[in-house]
Amino acid sequence: MFVRRFDLETYPPFASLPATAVTLTSSHDAIAVHRRGNFDGERPPIVCVPGFFRNMSDFDAFATLASRGADTDWPLILLDLKGRGRSPYRSRAEDYSTVADSADLAHLLDALGIERAVVFGQGHGGHVAMNLAINHHRLLAGMILLDAGPTQDAAGLTRVRDNYGRIAQTRGKHEFETLSREIAARSYPGATPVELDAMVARTHHMPRRRAKTLFDQRLLQKLDDVRLDDVFEPQWQLMSALYDIPMMLMRTQLTDQLQRTTFERMIELRPDAATHTIVGQGSPALLAEDDTVRAIMEFAQHCREQARLNPIVAG
The domain locations on the chain are 8-150+235-309, 155-221
User: What's the rounded Cα separation, in Å, for the pair 24 and 106?
Assistant: 9
Contact in structure between 300 and 118 (CB atoms under 8 Å): yes
**Which whole number is the average pLDDT over 198-217?**
93
pLDDT in tens, 224-279: 888 877 667 888 888 878 889 999 999 999 999 999 999 999 999 999 999 999 99
User: What's the rounded Cα separation, in Å, for the pair 49 and 31?
Assistant: 12
Burial of 2 (0-12, 13-18, 19+ CB in 10 A): exposed
User: What's the rounded Cα separation, in Å, for the pair 253 and 270?
Assistant: 20
Q: Kind of pairing, strands 29-36 and 247-252? A: unpaired
Identify the architecture of domain 8-150+235-309 in CATH: 3-Layer(aba) Sandwich (3.40)
C-beta neighbour count of 35 within 10 angstroms: 17
This prediction's pTM = 0.95
Contact in structure between 293 and 285 (CB atoms under 8 Å): no
User: What's the rounded Cα separation, in Å, for the pair 75 and 154?
Assistant: 35
Burial of 200 (0-12, 13-18, 19+ CB in 10 A): buried
- 256: nearest Cα among 166, 168, 154, 167: 154
At position 269, the amino acid (one-letter code) is: L
Look at 30 and 70; give whichever has higher pLDDT. Answer: 30
pLDDT in tens, 23-66: 999 888 999 999 999 999 999 999 999 999 999 999 999 999 99
Whole-number percent of the chain with pLDDT over 70: 96
Query: How sure is the predictor about 202, in pLDDT bands with cuts at 50, 70 and 90?
Result: very high
